[in-house]
Structure 1
Amino acid sequence: MAPVPSVSITIDRGGTFCDVWAHTADGKEIVFKLLSVDPASALLERKGERFALLTTEGFKDICRIGDQTRPKLFELNIRKPGVLYSKVVEVAERVTVEDYVLNPHPAEIDLSDPDLVKTSSGEIIRVLKKLDHAAVRKQLQQLFDEGFRSLAICFLHSYLFPDHENEVAEIARDVGFDFISLSSELSPNIKILHRTTSACADAYLSPTVKRYVDGFVSGFSVLPKRVDFMQSDGGLSTASKFTGLKAILSGPAGGVVAIARTCYDPEEGTPVIGFDMGGTSTDISRFDRIFEHVFDTTISAEINATLDVPMTAEEVASGFLAMANETMSRPIRNITEARGFAINKHNLASFGGAGGQHACAIARILGMPRIIIHKYSSILSAYGIGLADIVAETAVPAAYVFTDNALDTVLAHFDTLKSKTTAELVSQGVQPELVEHACYLSMRYEGSDTNLSILQPQGNDFRTAFVEAHRREFAFELANRPIVVDAVRVRGIGCKLSVLDSHVIIDMPSKERLSVEEESSINPVELSTFASRFMSIAEQMGNTLQRTSISTSIKERLDFSCALFTPDGKLVANAPHIPVHLGSMQFAIQYQHSVWQGKLQPGDVLLTNHPECGGTHLPDLTVVTPVFADGQLVFYVASRGHHTDIGGIGITSMIPDSKQLWQEGLAIRSLRIVSGGAFDEAAVRKAFLDVANMPGCSATRRLNDNISDLKAQIAANQRGITLLQALCCEFGTPRVQKYMYSIQANAELAVRNLFRRVAHERGPAPLTATDYYDDGTPIRLAITIDAATGSAVFDFAGTGPQTHGNMNSPVSITHSAVIYALRCLIDLDMPLNQGCLNPVDIRIPRGSILNPSPAVAVCGSTIASQRVVDAILRAFGAAAASQGCANSLGWGEGGRDPVTGVVAPGWNYGEALGGGSGGGWGTPPEGDDDVGDVRPLPTQ
């Protein structure tokens, strides 16, 4: 009897199908599919392990608060995802970093202090509160008695000082807990929210995954030579090392490995976009020499307001397909164009059960030259698992400036970590001589928190590699700013051989400009397509701004907005950023247009923030750039970002006791900061520094950061220009502008229909509401609707007078509140734009707190935006109000001493605290989200 040949079997258990690929020693390949018997996901369907979270005292709600952002900006029925843990316990422990980067007066640290600990990264930690082991044991025993067997542990600064987590874990093992997840082991990174959620996901999933793995392995009558599991990082793990956190994206990771090994040609070097469309989700990835994992799950957008255009059933179905293809193209743009890569320099690798049905359309939309379809495209994730390497990865935190002297330290870390990963792989059955290593440094510019993972280059020239990567991704470098190493990472790889297999290759015809013949009517499919493209461009502008900025206000709090405007300054489309910015920015653009009409050239950029010129409060600096096509002004793009320090009489830009506008810092009506592509840094510096000439005022304490953020805003605008010009090249400028105005007309129709419906339901009587500031100043609103025309008058007569303080609000903010509230009341997926305001007549009495006289203080005007929205929603009976206050907390040091007049170096810190949203129809209030959509700064 012939011996049974050995066989290699790989399985991808997806949401719809279970894909199987087998390869025998005699070269035979077997492929088949099974329906997934139980497609449930323990994470998505909340069927994971019951566990408890242990965290630093005072931080029990960190997961519940999260980052305060709203899942969907215009939804009134806010439903935040729940927490994974069943119980949270606060542990009495606290450590802190002894010094800080912005300290203007650094001093020698005395390490003889018994409460100070020098960590392996070089950071000095002060132990403020030591662990009480007896108290911790009592807490753990109580959890154990309540039936908990799984724990997640995350303490502040444990990425630098893991001792307290390790001590608690040791006690927990002694008590008898089965599974313990430590954030310092899973994710040794600075951000505590990310570490906490990682530890929670691991504690929630790993016990369930372990039971599944044990059950799977026990099903073999004779245990195979190896049973490995795919991880989210694209590597294999033995059953004993496989955890829930590493399993979440293991299926899509198999697809990435497959396209890397079978669809990428290293000799040609063309990067590959993976398009995996299965029965449950669509996953997007990019491969170029080395693995980068970026996935987006996409769904089709909702249909827009009816246009009364007759369409056949086939045309409607074709329209849905077109919108689905456009929607799935957006995440591809996000991982290419948004990061500085040209889409048309990539091949598209299509796989998954439905990928082939959409690949040609998506390649045509994106201008991609070639489609690659592997012969096993329907089971490519399973096939990729068979091509994956066994991997082990380890990292250590670091906290030092990269210099030539630091290179020896880096190389020593690499050697240590190589030994650890090799030992780990050998324990999994890999021969030592087959182990290869990839070494990385996590690097960033000092003052920024955007890390780039830099693969060890030839000659160990990490500095040049980082600068080149930063310039490629963000289009600039910070020549005089130190580069910081945050972490050292080594990935050990137990290598396998792979063989390119046969494919179907589709070479797409060159993409030509589409027909620009005018049509007599608006095509609703194209209307949705252009709306999606415009919103995508604004989103990519925002991505660029966040990634290139320096300040925590823009980078972390995301206190910025980006938008597109018509050539006369009216809002076309925006990304879902800050509500108070979105409706008010068009006032700033229209003012700049009136001042500079006919005077601007390509390469010019303007700066403004004055409340009389379309600004909100002074910290919100708006950068405006004209867009030209065929020599004509066709759009404006703009980005507005909150600068924490712009000078003035206070320590932050939110000054509690200001009475006049000049006390609040920099105020610019219009300044051309870039002329013909040349940045006028001298003029910018002068404008910021001149603030110190006013009585009692200081200039900004972080001028270089202000300038860096302005350059980031300029870069964001340039990204928008590039994409808009490409859109005009693709479709023709007349067609693009036709749909630009049609999108506004569509929004206008939606608002008129809203007014008609409300008038029918509520009758002819005005809708009224009154809200009050904390000092009793009223905001009175009467909304009179004309049912025949679908228009409305928003009359704020009776609103209280302007104050001798800073709660006064520019007119633009009230307009912003009105357009935002109306957009929230329309249950359609459409961009916020000027069309929403076309049917509205807004009347605000001059001299009121919502329309004050010139030169009054306005830094507290953020309150008005919330109060006015509350009043509008109350008038429509749409939602109750929460506290209606945009809390601001700030502190710092330095600036002009009010007694001596001496100007000292310093810094400041500003924080916005979310006040929650009121209850609406069918949903309870959410007390821990931020209706302003601004994130809190990370604690560490």
Structure 2
Amino acid sequence: MRIGIDVGGTFTDLVVAQNNQPIKQFKTHSTPKDPSIGVLKGLTEIANSHKITLNELLAKVELIVHGTTVATNTLIEKKGANVGIITTDGFRDLLEIREGLKEDRYNLRMASVEPLVPRYLRLGVQERIKYDGSVHIPLNIKNLKKNLNKLKTEGVNSLAVCFLFSFMNSKHELQAAKEIKNIFPDAFISLSHEVLPQIKEFDRISTTAVNAYVGPELGKYLSSFQNRLNKHGDESKVLIIQSNGGSAPIKDSIKFAVRSILSGPAGGAQGAANVASEINEKNIIALDMGGTSTDISIIENGKPHIANERFEAGWKIAVPMIDVHTLGAGGGSIARVDISGVLRVGPESAGADPGPACYDLGGENPTVTDAALVLGLLNKNSFLGGRVTLNDNLAKQAIKNKIADPLGLTIIEAANGIMRVVTNSIAEGIRLASIRKGLDPRSFSMVAFGGAAGMLATKVAREVGIQKILIPYTAPVLSAFGMLTSNIQYDFSQSYPSGLEIVDLNEIRSQLQAMEKKGRNRLKENGVPDKEIIVEFKADMRYLDQIYEVTVPIPDLNFNDQELKEKWAHNFHIRFEELYSYRQSEQEIRLVTLRATILAPIPKISNIKKNIKSPGNYEFSKTSTRQVHMTEWGDVPIFQESDLSSKHNINGPAIIESEFTTVVLSQNETLTKNSEEMLSIKLRDIKSIEKKPSKLKAVDPVTLAVVENRLESIAIEMMDVMIRTSMSQILNSSRDFSTAILDNKCRLIAQGEGIPVHVSALPIAGEAILNTFQNDIHPGDMFALNDPYNGGSHLPDITVIKPVFKDEKLLFLTVNRAHHSDVGGATHGGYNPSASEIYHEGLRIPPLRIHDKGKPREDLLQMLSANVRLPENFLGDLNAQIGSVSTAERRMLELLNNYDETTLLMIIDSILSATEYKVRQFISEWPDGVYEGETHLDDDGFDSKMIPIHAKVTIKDDTMNIDLSKSSPQVTGFINSAFANTRSVAHAAIMYLAPYDLAKNEGSMGPLSVIAPKGLIVNANPPAPVCMSTNHCGEEIIESVFKALANAVPLAVNSGFSRRMRYAITGTDPRTGKYFIWHYFMGRGGGGASSGNDGWTCVGEVNVAGGIRAPSVEITEERFPLFVVNHELRPDSAGNGQWRGGLGAVCEIIYEGKDKGTMNTAGDGMIVPPFGLFGGSEALPHRYSLISNGTERVLKSKETEVTVLPGDRIIALSSGGGGYGDPNKRDKNSLEWDKKNGYLS
């Protein structure tokens, strides 16, 4: 007998497999305070069903496989261990800096992510390993002991150790572990080279910290669980399901607790894969829809897809795990009307208590379950097998109050709308989960499971284009069943950075064999015979200048060296092309990480339950009928799943009910119960995924939500393609680019999560293309520009645009704007502080056709690349942009297959109108008046005088005018702005002040007007240089608007953010002999405080607001001749206040290039610091310095041709954010916390 256990938030599911008998299913209420109590209760129910005692049951059990949410809940609920971190001196703050990431670019006032481990428990020790594994500074044991004793006095009970490059040389971490055991004999210890032995220090320290945080709690639970079993004489083997879909013994599961974070969803994916394999379905999409969320996973060729990283509760977890795409869309998801008047569903959930309104437990918010009940899809008397009686009147009242009345709909229209929106959200989730991997979901079948999946499975499948759905009889408990199909599995990884052509294959074989031996030994310890062990080798690889890897199988190691390299390269090129539709055969291939999976298959059990009813002696008939609203009210036949026999077809509309789930069939859908007791549904006539209405109301909030979701998901997919295929660190790591979709009037209709200051300028780029080429635009054409005076922003930002045609008519433009690392000009890196006219700044591209009717204009592309310093990177990044807009073109054509042109354009008009209405609404709530604010730039690089930017903001009724007429005349240096950029940053300023969930499209620009007379710094005449304008004077325009509106809407504004702090170094790498350009994106400055929240730490300047990430220290040192001495917070850098600003950073870098290099700086804020508001103090300004031959020179914010010699040190101190409110009113506990953590001295 084997038992699978899945502990969920509401129910604990158990399945019993025994001697080829049908799987038995059990559900019991979970006990969150101690989940083992609920598990024992479930085991007792199983014993009672067998009419034996629990002791007798456990004596019969040979294996228990358990999935648990303890690790996940510990992380989410912040109830983990008191963790201390030991790391390399100078890098204690990597965990808090979080690569400068801020999830919501526009919500400046959101609270920052609380560090998993507070700063006073993160201590650096003197040691340093270099990129090649050599010891640069030996571990200082005395320093280590001193810091360990500090942590001991703070009551630390779990320690994480993460030294830079420990994956290349683990000596120091092992030495540290030895000392920890002496001082903390009972502590939980996590070593980063064991938890995650691969490159990228934030990934490693975050994953290791999570492991240390959740490990003790998981250990406590699993020990309690094992002890409770032992009290009943249990001698069975207990395995814990891992996030990778395998299982491991309790001891290993505790040591590497982070590997159990996705325990439950992994079981569901494994169960779905097992279901598919039993009926020879190799490719399926698993849809697990429960009460709170929906999990989507892809099974290809019988195996779930594996991801190597994921963010959970704000923290990055970079271990192999089944790639589960989770959506906040379940039966309990709450429906609401957002500020734009658009219907939304989720991600908030009513949970189990109070639950949906119809539960009659006090819930007042309408949910998906309420909508299904109102439409008649659910039986109110037999929900959850009769355990719960649903109150349809409460459901109707909730929908009426919260949805129908605000939108002017009937209750039924509103309920239908809720179902359509949640269906669309899940369908978009499936598209993103499959298409971003190069897979067409229409070629897959679906396995639907979980309590709520049956209600929506056919609607979702129809919208995506899936023709076949399987619902196994174990669907309500498939995650628990899947746990019994998991293998005992160990995953190992080892960083191995090398070019494939020069790799030492003997060393590769040795590394893989060492991982194999480790895995075999662990399996043998668990009684697995050697002959049953399966070994799989894979590698993470990328093209030389990319940063995101593709995982490919390693060919047979027995091939000779040349054959092995050729087959390995072939595997990589093929996989890359499958994902991104092109390959770069001329580019060097880099090996990044070796991976080994060592597993032992658990004896298979069958999900098949042979039907005991014979069609020959079973009369097939419906149980009853019920009034149900499908497209209209009508009697719909109701069948009980347990009464169905094989070889009978049920044609929709119909409803099939079982104890724990309900399956809904619509017209043109046929259900069969096959001989394996699975429900199999076939869909017909799915050409039209969305019904094409002949008439559409001007404002239809449901359709608006569906189409808006679809457009946004397309723009996000464009970003995903860009991140994974671009060549330059500034794009693939720092992510300095944006994506958008325009209609044929060049109105912005959707954008990705890019750089706020880019987006509002993109319509002007579209207008420049249409004005230039007019009727000479054809299908297959593609265009590019960067001219600031003709549709661009500044020269490094190249915009690629692809028109979308349907029936020879231009309907849309797909747009990608990306900052290239070099565009020629008088100095490297795209910024020229010495420029006095645009011709000094680099390659200037007017609106230009780069593809002509589908064919690249190779001569033109060669001409462009010949004018930049890094032509391979330039073309690689341009190709990534081309791939991004081409992907969007395909998706827009798919959307046009769902809606005819007239209907779709009408919907888009309504989306934009709804947004504009809400913008006007919130502006009308602000007091009318004229408000003025002024800020200053340090200088323009030529004249030492400060330069004013002045905003006069007039609010009248529901409109706003920003008049910049009192700003400085245009200047000599590169901080001038063209009007397109000025308009964009002014719009960004207003979007920062607006409610954060407001749609960012053309409608949000409608009530706003901008006055910027020609000849001013904010609307310079050509050929004035403008290269710095997206930062400066762009940031200062936003600052002046914030200052102007501070007295009008004090709760909406932030204090000053740090300004741009940037330098670029060029030289020759002595390791390769190659020329390089490196852009400084580390050490980001702090964000300004707001009413109620401190500013974000190291979030960067206000025009990007967390949209640009700091690159990895380890990847920087591996790829460039630079040595990073430190990268941590700068105490006292933020302005004080009732709410203080976010801290800036300290970053010191040593240049290790061959001979001399050249550096330039391009920024501001070394004289003018971030401002405070309402009594809050200003922050410290930036400071750059260069130490050469022992002499320190303070650099200016705008310098060019600065010589750097090997061994020179560049020190950057970034400013924090300004404070908000009187510092004397700061909460006493917050002030003490700041001092304890060293934020304030």
Structure 1 residue 339, shift from structure 2 partner: 2.3
Q: Identify the residue that residue 933 of structure 2 maps to in structure 1.
A: 769
Alpha carbons of 1:404 and 1:892: their partners in 2 closer, same or farther (altered >3 Å)?
closer
Q: Indicate conservation of the 8 Å contact 2:271/2:481, yes or no.
A: yes
Residue in structure 2 matching 1:380, options 478, 503, 522: 478
Q: Identify the residue that residue 109 of structure 1 maps to in structure 2.
A: none
User: Aligned AA for 1:607?
Assistant: A
Q: Which whole-Å CA distance do the structure 2 matches of 1:882 and 1:816 have between them?
A: 19
Q: Identify the residue that residue 1062 of structure 2 maps to in structure 1.
A: 888
Alpha carbons of 1:172 and 1:309: their partners in 2 closer, same or farther (altered >3 Å)?
closer
Q: Which whole-Å CA distance do the structure 1 matches of 2:14 and 2:129 have between them?
A: 50
Q: Indicate conservation of the 8 Å contact 1:535/1:831, yes or no.
A: no
Q: Identify the residue that residue 920 of structure 1 maps to in structure 2.
A: 1090
Structure 1 residue 640, shift from structure 2 partner: 0.7
Q: Identify the residue that residue 409 of structure 2 maps to in structure 1.
A: 311
Is 2:680 aligned against 1:505?
Answer: yes
Is 2:752 aligned against 1:581?
Answer: no
User: Unpaired segments of 5 or more residues in structure 2?
Assistant: 34-69, 306-321, 330-334, 343-405, 609-675, 940-945, 1115-1241
Q: Which whole-Å CA distance do the structure 1 matches of 2:1082 and 2:117 have between them?
A: 27
Structure 1 residue 826, shift from structure 2 partner: 3.3
Residue in structure 1 matching 2:85, options 50, 53, 73: 53
Which structure is larger by alpha-carbon Rg, 1 or 2? 2
What secondary structure does 2:969 align onto? Answer: coil
Q: Indicate conservation of the 8 Å contact 1:77/1:920, yes or no.
A: yes
Residue in structure 2 matching 1:137, options 139, 145, 158: 145
Residue in structure 2 matching 1:755, options 923, 934, 943: 923
What secondary structure does 1:602 align onto? Answer: coil
Is 2:1025 aligned against 1:857?
Answer: yes
Alpha carbons of 1:887 and 1:928: their partners in 2 closer, same or farther (altered >3 Å)?
same
Residue in structure 1 matching 2:17, options 12, 15, 23: 23
Residue in structure 1 matching 2:289, options 259, 277, 281: 277
Q: Which whole-Å CA distance do the structure 1 matches of 2:140 and 2:101 have between them?
A: 36
Q: Identify the residue that residue 234 of structure 1 maps to in structure 2.
A: 245
Q: Which whole-Å CA distance do the structure 1 matches of 2:1112 and 2:1075 have between them?
A: 24
Q: Indicate conservation of the 8 Å contact 1:278/1:352, yes or no.
A: yes
What secondary structure does 2:1085 align onto? Answer: coil
Q: Which whole-Å CA distance do the structure 1 matches of 2:509 and 2:1098 have between them?
A: 45
1:255-404 correspondence runs (5 A): 255-264=268-277, 267-269=280-282, 271-289=283-301, 290-292=303-305, 293-299=322-328, 303-304=337-338, 305-306=340-341, 310-403=408-501
Q: Identify the residue that residue 638 of structure 1 maps to in structure 2.
A: 815
User: Aligned AA for 1:873?
Assistant: F
User: Aligned AA for 1:593?
Assistant: L
Q: Which whole-Å CA distance do the structure 2 matches of 1:12 and 1:268 have between them?
A: 25
User: Aligned AA for 2:289?
Assistant: M
Q: Identify the residue that residue 95 of structure 1 maps to in structure 2.
A: 129
Q: Identify the residue that residue 156 of structure 1 maps to in structure 2.
A: 164
Which range moves more in the overlay, 434-443 or 195-204? 434-443
Alpha carbons of 1:422 and 1:927: their partners in 2 closer, same or farther (altered >3 Å)?
closer
Q: Which whole-Å CA distance do the structure 2 matches of 1:262 and 1:268 have between them?
A: 8
Q: Identify the residue that residue 697 of structure 1 maps to in structure 2.
A: none
Deviations 1:641-686 (A, max 9, x none): 1111112222321233322212211111122111122222331231
1:711-730 correspondence runs (5 A): 711-730=879-898
Is 2:523 aligned against 1:425?
Answer: yes
Q: Which whole-Å CA distance do the structure 1 matches of 2:835 and 2:570 have between them?
A: 47
Deviations 1:234-283 (A, max 9, x none): 111111111320111011010111111112468453x2111112223321
What secondary structure does 2:802 align onto? Answer: strand
Is 2:903 aligned against 1:739?
Answer: no
Q: Identify the residue that residue 651 of structure 1 maps to in structure 2.
A: 828
Structure 1 residue 180, shift from structure 2 partner: 1.2
Alpha carbons of 1:905 and 1:491: their partners in 2 closer, same or farther (altered >3 Å)?
closer
Residue in structure 2 matching 1:76, options 108, 131, 143: 108
Q: Which whole-Å CA distance do the structure 2 matches of 1:615 and 1:457 have between them?
A: 47
Compute the RMSD of aligned alpha carbons.
2.2
What secondary structure does 1:624 align onto? Answer: strand
Deviations 1:764-810 (A, max 9, x none): x21322222224322222222332xx233221121111111111111
Q: Which whole-Å CA distance do the structure 2 matches of 1:799 and 1:883 have between them?
A: 20
Q: Which whole-Å CA distance do the structure 2 matches of 1:849 and 1:151 have between them?
A: 54
Alpha carbons of 1:584 and 1:894: their partners in 2 closer, same or farther (altered >3 Å)?
farther
Paired residue total: 885
1:782-821 correspondence runs (5 A): 782-787=952-957, 790-821=958-989
Q: Which whole-Å CA distance do the structure 2 matches of 1:904 and 1:519 have between them?
A: 60
Q: Indicate conservation of the 8 Å contact 2:6/2:480, yes or no.
A: yes
Residue in structure 1 matching 2:28, options 25, 31, 34: 34
Structure 1 residue 827, shift from structure 2 partner: 2.4
Q: Indicate conservation of the 8 Å contact 1:15/1:279, yes or no.
A: no
TM-score, normalised on structure 1? 0.91
Is 2:202 aligned against 1:193?
Answer: yes
Residue in structure 1 matching 2:598, options 492, 496, 499: 492
Alpha carbons of 1:473 and 1:34: their partners in 2 closer, same or farther (altered >3 Å)?
same
Q: Which whole-Å CA distance do the structure 2 matches of 1:905 and 1:65 have between them?
A: 30
Q: Which whole-Å CA distance do the structure 2 matches of 1:870 and 1:450 have between them?
A: 35
Structure 1 residue 618, shift from structure 2 partner: 1.1
Q: Which whole-Å CA distance do the structure 2 matches of 1:581 and 1:453 have between them?
A: 33
Which range moves more in the overlay, 496-505 or 575-584? 496-505
Alpha carbons of 1:353 and 1:462: their partners in 2 closer, same or farther (altered >3 Å)?
same
Alpha carbons of 1:912 and 1:384: their partners in 2 closer, same or farther (altered >3 Å)?
same
What secondary structure does 1:887 align onto? Answer: coil
Deviations 1:53-108 (A, max 9, x none): 111111111111102222212213222221112410011112222xxxxxxxxxxx
Residue in structure 1 matching 2:226, options 207, 217, 229: 217
Q: Identify the residue that residue 146 of structure 1 maps to in structure 2.
A: 154
Q: Indicate conservation of the 8 Å contact 1:794/1:841, yes or no.
A: yes
Q: Which whole-Å CA distance do the structure 1 matches of 2:1040 and 2:842 have between them?
A: 31
Q: Indicate conservation of the 8 Å contact 1:647/1:665, yes or no.
A: yes
What secondary structure does 2:783 align onto? Answer: strand
Q: Which whole-Å CA distance do the structure 1 matches of 2:762 and 2:242 have between them?
A: 45
Q: Identify the residue that residue 100 of structure 1 maps to in structure 2.
A: none
Structure 1 residue 179, shift from structure 2 partner: 1.5
Residue in structure 1 matching 2:741, options 564, 570, 578: 564
Deviations 1:504-523 (A, max 9, x none): 11112231333241324331
Structure 1 residue 28, shift from structure 2 partner: 5.6
TM-score, normalised on structure 2? 0.69
Structure 1 residue 406, shift from structure 2 partner: 4.9
Deviations 1:304-354 (A, max 9, x none): 423885201222222122222222222221121122111111112111122
Alpha carbons of 1:854 and 1:904: their partners in 2 closer, same or farther (altered >3 Å)?
farther
Structure 1 residue 688, shift from structure 2 partner: 3.9
Q: Indicate conservation of the 8 Å contact 1:651/1:908, yes or no.
A: no
Q: Indicate conservation of the 8 Å contact 2:987/2:1008, yes or no.
A: no
Structure 1 residue 829, shift from structure 2 partner: 3.5
Q: Identify the residue that residue 453 of structure 1 maps to in structure 2.
A: 551
Structure 1 residue 607, shift from structure 2 partner: 1.1
Q: Which whole-Å CA distance do the structure 1 matches of 2:174 and 2:22 have between them?
A: 50
Residue in structure 1 matching 2:1009, options 841, 862, 876: 841
Residue in structure 2 matching 1:708, options 876, 890, 913: 876
Structure 1 residue 409, shift from structure 2 partner: 4.5
Percent identity, aligned pairs only, is: 26
Which range moves more in the overlay, 144-153 or 700-709? 144-153
Q: Indicate conservation of the 8 Å contact 1:22/1:30, yes or no.
A: yes
What secondary structure does 2:925 align onto? Answer: helix
Q: Identify the residue that residue 10 of structure 1 maps to in structure 2.
A: 4
Q: Identify the residue that residue 871 of structure 1 maps to in structure 2.
A: 1040
User: Aligned AA for 2:984?
Assistant: S
User: Aligned AA for 1:773?
Assistant: L
User: Unpaired segments of 5 or more residues in structure 1?
Assistant: 1-6, 98-123, 691-699, 896-902
Deviations 1:200-236 (A, max 9, x none): 0000011111111111000122133301111111111
